[in-house]
Amino acid sequence: MYRFVLILCILSLGLATTAMAVDTGRKLALLESAVAGDANAQYELAMIYDEEAYEQSEDPFEPEPELWEKMRHWCEAAADQGHFEAKRALLQRVYDLSLGEEESRKWYKLAQEMAESGDKVAQYQLAEIYYARSLGDAMSAGDGPARSDSAVPAIRWYSKLLDGLNPKETVILSMLETFDREVTVDYVNEQLAYLRKLVP
């Protein structure tokens, strides 16, 4: 069964068409290890497919679908075994909250798991999403009292970002970590100050 699965994967590689300068032998070795369950190989193979998906796409902003699905498959396989970088890749780049309920469910489950384990990026992403919902709730209130059920989880995750910081630290996350902004202590405190006004 193992050899059959490996042969099927090799046939689907499309090595002859790849634009990426990856040694064929290296890729086959990674594939064999990935099929055997090596999480590091699964993640490395996923990153190769990630690069190929954009190199071979006609649209520079959208990945080639078949290669992207292979990337996603191996990234999920590695993440299922606890591979941290694979989980981070799924959270930040693969799971898309705009693609429906199933995709959102996967994102929130993974984000919650990582945030609870202390991952600052996941905590930040959850805090930002709940903060945005809080803004929407406040605007919906019109002239009435500004209240939001989303403010409580937003406060929780912003507060977690401040946990364990050295008193002299001013930057919690860099832009390279968030793909969004530099997250500073001042920024988090500003968000918290606003949110606390929404909690009765």
* Average pLDDT of the segment spanning 164-188: 94
Q: How far is CA 10 from its chain centroid?
A: 28
- Does the predicted model carry a pTM greater than 0.95? no
Could you count the other beta carbons within 10 Å of the beta carbon of residue 185? 15
Q: Helices 120-140 & 101-116, crossing angle to 10 degrees?
A: 120
Which pLDDT tens digit goes with each residue over 94-134?
Answer: 888 777 889 899 999 999 999 999 999 999 999 999 999 88
- The DSSP letter of residue 173 is E
Cα dihedral 23/70/112/36 (nearest 10): -70
Contact in structure between 161 and 191 (CB atoms under 8 Å) = no
| Calpha distance 18→111 (Å, rounded) | 33
Which pLDDT tens digit goes with each residue over 34-85?
Answer: 999 999 999 999 999 999 999 998 888 899 999 999 999 999 999 999 999 9
